[in-house]
Chains A and B, each alone.
Chain A
Amino acid sequence: MSENRRQILQMLSEGKITADEAERLMAALEKEPRPEPLKGEALKPRAKYLRVLVEAQEHGHNGSPTKVNIRVPMQLLRAGVRLGALIPREARDRANEALREKGVQFDLNQIKPENLEELIEQLNDLEVNVDEDRAKVRVFCE
């Protein structure tokens, strides 16, 4: 939410402006052109793939470590979340309960297709590096 919108809502909640005035101000805000990105603030390209790289330190007969390289299109993640939204509510509630029992405070009902883009956008900056004796795991988006 932009700072301007926040201020309008704040003024509305404090009773400084009426709901009609707030609506007009919001409409005026929407008409305003969006600010151009600053110079040097190049837009980050959207990630197209989720990559998972695993390098296990188990050496085989030829002495080379086992490597796994997976490239998953981000589109598949989007489709997966859309499919997940179709899970019946009863099943989701049971899954939520199981998650809570495991100590994971997460509500699957909160994942909705409308929040999907935001969720995927946040994955762009995801990077997981696990460096252990037995294996190295790297998860990132590109």
Chain B
Amino acid sequence: MPPLTLRIHVLDRYGRELRLWIPLFLLWLLLLPFALLILPVLFVVCVVIDVDPFRGVAAVLGVLSSLRDSRIQVDAAEASVFVHVI
């Protein structure tokens, strides 16, 4: 399953805090019609470059799904940033 939420936490050096919960599932829903439109083009491109389109789509979906539970935290002098893919 692709990631459903992106959690971002930013804390700057003045102590100002920003907490964001980005609902990625809404983004996927918005992108779905575009994906359906692009699918035939993608299929043709895959055939031209000699790549199995089904394996290609499966691999891209696999990368998206595997992004879940990734975390990036940067603590710098200017600000601290924490990103968590849920």
Contacts and interface: CB of A to CB of B under 8 A. Distances in A.
Contacts of A4: none
A88 B49 contact: yes
A56 to B, nearest CB: 9
A76 B71 contact: no
A82 to B, nearest CB: 5
A7 interface: no
Contacts of A78: 62, 66
Interface residues of A, number: 26
B23 interface: no
A76 B55 contact: no
A103 to B, nearest CB: 29
B7 interface: no
Contacts of B20: none
A82 B76 CA distance: 34
A79 B59 contact: yes
Contact of B75 (A66, A70, A82): A66
- Give the 5 A-B residue pairs with the shortest CB-CB distance, closest first: A60-B77, A76-B66, A79-B62, A75-B66, A71-B71
12 contacts: A49-B69, A59-B77, A64-B75, A67-B76, A68-B75, A70-B71, A70-B73, A76-B66, A78-B66, A79-B59, A79-B65, A86-B55
Interface of A: 49, 58-62, 64, 66-73, 75-76, 78-80, 82-83, 85-86, 88-89
Interface of B: 13, 49-52, 55-56, 59-60, 62-63, 65-78
Given A68-B75, A79-B66, 14 more contacts: A60-B77, A66-B76, A67-B73, A67-B75, A68-B73, A69-B73, A69-B75, A72-B70, A75-B66, A79-B63, A79-B65, A82-B59, A82-B62, A88-B51
